[in-house]
Amino acid sequence: MKSIGIGLAGFGTVGGGVYKNLESNRALLAQRLGATFEIRRIAVRDLAKSRPVEAPVDLFTTDLDALISDPSIQVIIELMGGVEIPLAFVRKAIEAGKIVVTGNKALLAEHGAELFALAREKRVPIFYEAAVAGGIPIIKTVREAFIGNRFQSIHAILNGTSNYILTRMSEAGLDFAPALAEAKALGYAEADPTLDINGWDAAHKAIILASLAYGFWVESSQIHVSGIDKLTGDDIRFTRQLGYTIKLLATIKADAADEIEVRVCPTLIPKSHVLASVNGVFNAVWLRGDVVGEALFYGRGAGQDPTSSSVIADLAETVTALESPSRCYGFTSHDLYGKLKPIEDATSQFYLRLLVDDTPGVLAQIAGILGTAGIGISSVIQPEGHDTGQLPLVLMIHDATFGQMREAASQIAALPCVKAEPTLLPVETFA
């Protein structure tokens, strides 16, 4: 039986999980695959740190280069976290002809173009199923299972922490801060949850999915990203009244001119849509392909075991990849698309929530600005106010561009009768 030598960089939650699960299902994997995996070196920053998963002490090293120079190691698993150190390390690994398996979404989102070009030049594949949506095999699905499809759209819930917070705000009527505190207490949010909350963890994953689907590497500086930290319990209640649920949604779609829109932001979706039922820490990806039609993939988007399931699937791919030059080095560019749509030009329906003076004539002023901009209002609700003298005002807006809406919202914000920064969220109807 073939034995494949592994160098594991990083022994945190996921790295430990890979070690543990390779051990626990070793016999099964060997029989299914006709090969075994031997972890020959484990690189960590601190040898003295105590770890929940045990591994033989002589495997550990603090020297990343020791993994690359070891001729018995054919595959490098990079699960370190961070960007700059992994970037240098993965470059070296590829230069040395080692297959790379990584779960590092920030690394790929920011340096994918460079790394995949290098991988192609050196004919060394990079596998990264664990980088997007944890245990859900969405990379394999987009790259292989739906290879015959043009992707019309991908809508996805890609961050379990923020989805947990939104679920609790919705189910228990919590405000953002107590919902975040609860997520931390339960271990669903890290000590520093910045990237979960501000949308960038999901955005890194969306960049990878969009790049794979449309065949050009999406620039992170070119996409629209906003987080969930400005949402209030009011937003949750008002949107529910209107028949919607708010999700931190990645929206990726091609328009008729083959321009690609990529954005990650809190988005209203109809309560009846299947993505509205994706609750708690679960992730889900809803795709539309021109051949396959609609499909949904749902599962655990993070955590030691689900993520290591994806790393192990990538390891299984290395058996074939080592045997023969692979048809795919992880990402194939093609020239059938190639252009991002500026967010200002993207069209959507919108939810606009204002805090206004409780005086006559306010709606007329706001409607006047929207009317002048050629923006149609589909409905207005004025929920009960919290204080005397000021009231929330919610407007649902027909199709408009983000550019039009932002301009109109800033004019509205400047009205003396408008008392706080407007909340502007797109509404996705999946039409």
- Give, rounded to a whole angstrom, the gap between the first and last alpha carbons of the chain: 52
CA 50 to chain centre: 30
Bridge partners for 309 per DSSP = none
Tokens 């075991």: give the residue.
Answer: 305
Residues 209-248 that bind its own copies (CB under 8 A): 215
Q: Is 205 a catalytic residue?
A: yes
27 binds its own copies (CB under 8 A): yes
> By three-state DSSP, how is residue 12 classified?
coil
Applying CB under 8 A, among 31, 50, 221, 388 the residue interacting with its own copies is 31
Applying CB under 8 A, among 15, 135, 160, 422 the residue interacting with its own copies is 135
Closest approach of Cβ 336 to its own copies, in Å? 5
Contact 161, 281 (CB under 8 A): yes
320 binds its own copies (CB under 8 A): yes
Say how many CA atoms lie within 13 Å of 394 toward its Cβ: 18
Closest approach of Cβ 216 to its own copies, in Å? 11
Say how many CA atoms lie within 13 Å of 267 toward its Cβ: 26
Applying CB under 8 A, among 224, 300, 341, 353 the residue interacting with its own copies is 300
336 binds its own copies (CB under 8 A): yes
Site string for its own copies, 257-296 (x = CB under 8 A): -----------------x--x-----------xxxxxxxx
Applying CB under 8 A, among 12, 13, 33, 219 the residue interacting with its own copies is 33
* From 98, 105, 205, 253, the catalytic residue: 205
144 or 345: CB nearest its own copies:
144
Contact 359, 348 (CB under 8 A): no
335 binds its own copies (CB under 8 A): yes
Closest approach of Cβ 301 to its own copies, in Å? 10
163: which 2 tokens?
A: 């989805």
Residue-wise over 324-361: b if at least 16 C-beta within 10 A, else e? eebebbbbeeeeebeebbebeebbbbbbbbbbbbeeee
28 binds its own copies (CB under 8 A): yes
Q: How far apart are CA 242 and CA 112, in angstroms?
A: 40
Closest approach of Cβ 52 to its own copies, in Å? 16
Stretch in the footprint of its own copies (CB under 8 A) among 155-163, 170-178, 302-310, 394-402: 302-310
Q: How far apart are CA 328 and CA 318, in angstroms?
A: 12
Contact 89, 78 (CB under 8 A): yes
146 binds its own copies (CB under 8 A): yes
Contact 370, 363 (CB under 8 A): no
CA nearest neighbour of 145 among 240, 285, 243:
285
Residues 150-189 that bind its own copies (CB under 8 A): 150
Interface contacts to its own copies, rule CB under 8 A: 21-22, 24-25, 27-29, 31-35, 129, 135-137, 140-141, 144-150, 215, 274, 277, 289-300, 303, 305-306, 308-310, 312-313, 315-317, 319-320, 323-327, 332, 334-336
The set of catalytic residues is 205
